[in-house]
Amino acid sequence: MVTVSRATRLSISNEVDLVRARQEVRVQAQALGFSLVDQTRITTAVSELIRNMMKYAGGGTMEIEGVRNGVRIGLRIICHDKGPGIPDIGLAMKEGYSTSNGLGYGLPGTKRLVDEFDIWSEVGKGTRVTISKWR
């Protein structure tokens, strides 16, 4: 997998940053020729991940880049925070599980919107979620 466009890095700490991040993802997905439905999927996935980041870690960073794997063009987004981390990733990825006010769509729902979903987390160090969508 090679990078086809320079990574854009945004720092996220409030809801204005959230709106800006969503707009940036939408613009890049559009530029790479993603369909409207895929643009909406990626943008919504990012919105959910950033909400988690703000809720549990108070903010973090988002990196977004265009990638190529052979003939396939894609978008890769990394959401990284230095928050408390997730003690049990298996549980966090379970459908219907949520530690805050019972929403429970969070991570499993977000995973369904993208093609690749990778999560790393260490208690006390932070969480990093990498998602990719291929055109």
Partner 1 sequence: MEKIPIIKVGDTLLVSIQTDLQDQVAMTMQTDLLGRIEQTSARGVIIDISVVDIVDSFLGRVLSDTASMARIMNAVVVVVGIQPSVAITLVELGLELKQIPTALNVERGLQLLRERIAWEDHAVADGAESRELGREEERARNGHG
Q: Is 79 helix (H, G, I), strand (E, B) or coil?
A: strand
Q: Amino acid identity of 109?
A: G
Q: From CA 120, how far away is CA 135, in angstroms rounded?
A: 25
Instruction: Decide whether 72 or 112 has the Cβ nearer to partner 1.
Output: 112
Per CB under 8 A, the segment of 2-10, 11-19, 64-72, 82-90 that binds partner 1 is 11-19
Radius of gyration of the chain (CA): 14
Q: From CA 60, how far away is CA 129, in angstroms rounded?
A: 11
Per CB under 8 A, the segment of 1-9, 31-39, 67-75, 118-126 that binds partner 1 is 31-39
Instruction: Decide whether 36 or 71 has the Cβ nearer to partner 1.
Output: 36
Q: Which residues inside 68-107 make contact with partner 1, applying CB under 8 A?
A: 95, 103, 105-106
Q: Please, where are the H alpha helices in 32-80?
A: 36-57
Q: Is 68 helix (H, G, I), strand (E, B) or coil?
A: strand
- Contact positions vs partner 1 (CB under 8 A): 15-16, 18-19, 22-23, 26, 36-37, 39-41, 43-44, 47-48, 51, 95, 103, 105-106, 108-110, 112-113
